[in-house]
Amino acid sequence: MRPAVIHRRPASGAGFLRARCHRRRAGSHCGSSQTVVNAKKNSATRKSPSRHRDSVVQLRNKPLRDLTGDALRTYFRDLNGHKPNALYELVLGEVEPPLFEAVLDYTGGNQSRAAEILGLNRATLRKKLRQYELLG
């Protein structure tokens, strides 16, 4: 039995398809939790169950690169004239936690092996795990 080393992120985290107002580094801010624009509901959620299953199957066969591109295009489309802010941090915040969780699961929680697989220094991995509250 291996020790639990990671915790799941809360479901309330920012999604790719939701533009959020982030604190700006230049000093001005609009409140880190203030929602600027909510993306329109995905039409797949309004489809019949069989059509929804077809959409899920199509997503499973689509490369991550394409899914990321689609999500970013949707993000920009749904800004409705608002200026994007801290996009790099938003993308990393969506991609890194599940990456770290999957690699740690694969290594049985061994952070040294996980860091080696990721090509990171172990201290850097630990810093990022703390950042995303994944360190148990």
Q: Please state the three-class secondary structure of 72-97 as a single string.
A: HHHHHHCCCCCCCCCHHHHHHHHHHH
For residue 85, the cross-strand partners are none
As given in the structure block, the two tokens for residue 10 are 């809360």
49: left (phi over 0), alpha (psi -120 to 50) or beta: alpha
Q: Kindly give the confidence (pLDDT) of every residue in the chain, 136 residues in length, as a single tens digit, with 9 standing for 90 and above.
A: 344 444 434 333 344 443 333 333 333 333 333 233 333 334 344 445 565 566 555 667 899 999 999 999 999 999 999 999 999 999 999 999 999 999 999 999 999 999 999 999 999 999 999 999 999 7
What does pTM read for this prediction? 0.57
Please count the residues of the chain.
136
- Sketch out the chain's domains with CATH numbers: 42-84 (no CATH), 86-136 (1.10.10.60)
- Residue 120, Cβ density class (10 Å: 0-12 exposed, 13-18 middle, ≥19 buried): middle
